[in-house]
Structure 1
Amino acid sequence: MAAVHRQRPRGQMRRRILRLAADWLQQRGYHGFSFGQLAEALEVQSSAIHYHFPTKADLATALFRQYRDELAGWRAQMADARLEPDERIERFLDLEARDLEGEHVGPLGIAAVEYASLPSAACAEAEALCDDLIDWLTATLVAGRAAGRLDFPGDAGDQACAIMAAAQGALQLARIHGRSDFAAVRRAILAGVMSRGV
């Protein structure tokens, strides 16, 4: 009789591994779980994990690549929704706030804290994720200023970095001091870029 896992649709096991590993990465950190623990939780042999991800470095790289893919999908949704630039900034902050659920640390927060010990390929994906976000924020800020929807001093790229830093810092602060701190930073970010005429 064939093993149950062989009867699953192709790719399902890989998706299960990535889903659980992403959850644990954001709860426990890169060094907070092993392949053996993943296998036990998924009720499979460790070889099933190694089949899809030969090393933990491969898994970490795949996770950060997945975060980039998810961001690309989110950006496409924002484009399809035809939202105004100021509304897109609000949606971005709502997206960041999701990491407050379930005691999760955001992907960039994990990368920042564990950067020195993450595999180099995972670091490269994390850097690219950060670049993707800053590029999107910069383009959104440029479009918003041109449309009269956003108003801020200085360069749009500098402002994008400031928004990113504020949002990431707010997530860390909220874990210590409560969600109201993230809400306060969210209000301050929006107040700092909103055109007075909107």
Structure 2
Amino acid sequence: MEDVSDTDRTSTATRILDTAQALVQRRGYNAVSYGDLAAELDLTTAAIHYHFPSKADLGQAVVARYRRANAGERAAIRARTDAVRERLTQYVDLYAGVLKDGGLCLCGVLAADNATLPAEVRREVQGFFDDQTDWLTSILAEGADVTARLEGCESPRQAAQLFLAAIEGAMLTHRTPRNQLRTYRATLRGLIDTIAP
């Protein structure tokens, strides 16, 4: 039997993760099978099972990787600027980039399937939203009188939850091709104007 290098294994696993993420972002978790992945990647389903024995293993790995990438992007935003408004604008741009590529936030899509997700995938998805809320809370807590500007929000955490809900919800309502990015950004810019004028 021919030896398979660690690099080849890693490369194949990465290709599987990339393809699984792209398909889930466009179709949803339950509409993606190992057969779909095998066809897209020109692999056998056995090859996919070798790297990810179950769909739950694959789903957890996809979300964990998505969380790590997002954490790096948020850290970069924090490092680039101290201005609350600019941080929020750049944060919105992360989501706009996903929309531009024809998908939705991976965890937003998965949250819609929450009742049918395996427990380990559900935990990763909740962890993603907790990460976002914690980060936004810390950003908004640095802004002066943020909660005073958002009626009904008594704390930076409540304002963070509202902001995150708006970002995720606007992805769904602005998904149509016509001017989607412009209207998505304009909608959220209005909220940013309220939070950090």
- Normalised-by-shorter TM-score class: 0.7 to 0.9
**Which residue pairs with 1:71 in the alignment?**
70
Q: Stretches of 4+ moved more than 3 A in 1?
A: none
TM-score where L is the length of structure 2: 0.87
Residue pairs, 1:56-135, within 5 angstroms? 56-135=55-134
Name the CA distance, whole Å, in 2 between partners of 1:84 and 1:119.
39
Cα-to-partner distance string for 1:36-88 (whole Å, 9 max, x where unaligned)? 22122212222211111000111111111111111111122123324422211
Q: Give me the identity figure in percent.
A: 32
Partner of 1:152: 149
The residue type equivalent to 2:139 in the other structure is T
Is the 1:100–1:175 Cα contact (8 Å) retained in structure 2?
Answer: yes
Deviation at 1:150, TM superposition (A): 9.1
Deviation at 1:7, TM superposition (A): 5.3
- TM-superposed CA distance for 1:187, in Å, is 2.0
Q: Give distance in 2, aligned partners of 1:133 and 1:193.
A: 17
Q: Which string of whole-angstrom CA distances, capped at 9 and with x for unpartnered residues, describes residues 99-147 of structure 1?
A: 212431212321221111111110100000000001000000011228x
For the residue of structure 2 that corresponds to 1:103, the secondary structure is coil
Distance 1:55 1:90 in 2: 38
Work out the CA distance in 2 between the residues paired with 1:88 and 1:184.
16
Q: Could you tell me how far apart the structure 2 residues matched to 1:8 and 1:127 are?
A: 32
Q: Please report how far the alpha carbon of residue 14 of structure 1 lies from its aligned counterpart in structure 2 after TM superposition.
A: 0.7
Q: Decide whether the 8 Å contact of 2:13 with 2:51 is kept in 1.
A: yes
Does the aligned pair in 2 maintain the 1:150–1:194 contact within 8 Å? no
2:38 aligned with 1:42 = no
Q: Distance in 2 between matches of 1:177 and 1:55?
A: 35
Query: Which structure 2 segments of 5+ residues have no match?
Result: none
CA distance in 2, matches of 1:183, 1:89: 11
> Contact 1:85/1:150 (CA < 8 Å) preserved in 2?
no
Structure 2 SS opposite 1:105: coil
User: How far 1:177 sits from its partner (Å)?
Assistant: 7.9
Aligned to 2:185: 183
Letter in 2 for 1:186: L
Moved more, 47-56 or 181-190: 181-190
Report the CA distance between 1:184 and its aligned residue: 3.0
Unpaired stretches in structure 1, ≥5 consecutive residues: none
Over the aligned positions, Cα root-mean-square deviation in angstroms equals 2.2
Q: More deviation in 107-116 or 74-83?
A: 74-83
Bigger mean CA deviation after superposition, 156-165 or 101-110:
101-110
Q: Letter of the aligned partner of 2:195 in structure 1?
A: V
